[in-house]
Amino acid sequence: MRVAFLVAQEGIEQVELTEPWKAVTEAGGTPRLLAPKGGSVQAFHHLEAADTFPVDQEVGQAGMEEYDGLVLPGGVANPDALRMDAESVSFVKGFFERGKPVAAICHAPWTLVEADVVRGRRLTSWPSLRTDLRNAGAEWVDEQVVLCAAGPNTLITSRKPDDLRAFCDTFVPEFQKVSS
């Protein structure tokens, strides 16, 4: 199971990157960190700078056929920056067009809104995105984790860091189905 983790250069909520990454690794998968530019990315503990992580591949150089699934970590600034990067938005949209599973937590669904892939889908997020998601045609619910199989692929969403265990326990088996 090869999993792309797509993040911006900074503003990633660290635990929303590291815990899903660990879940993929523990399941025998290979996570890869993608970003708009090479080098490293800056994670945060809410608003405080935390660790940096090396980028494995620039999103513009990545082929969707290389990956079984896509994880979009949150953080307020992270998805806000990603939705302004055309290559990142195209990469996300491509996963939906190819029927590959996508998992997004917290503020990450902002990138899904920009990719225009939430219409007709049931999902959750950080509560402040509720109106944005409804305006984009999604059915927003306040639940720990939501698995939506509407459309050609599976979308797994979760609200916040406190939901990470349920998020990981839901998306990893879905990604494993694709890689087997």
What residues are labeled active site?
106-107
Q: Is 75 left (phi over 0), alpha (psi -120 to 50) or beta?
A: left
Reference 159, options 74, 45, 90; nearest CA is 74
Comparing CA positions, the residue from 138, 71, 136 lying closest to residue 106 is 71
Q: For residue 111, what are its two tokens?
A: 């990138």
Tokens 């190819």 found at: 98
Say if residues 46 and 17 touch (Cβ distance below 8 Å).
Answer: no
Tokens linked to 165? 């265990």
Task: Enter the tokens of residue 131.
Answer: 């109106």
> Residue 67 burial (CB < 10 Å; 0-12/13-18/19+)?
buried
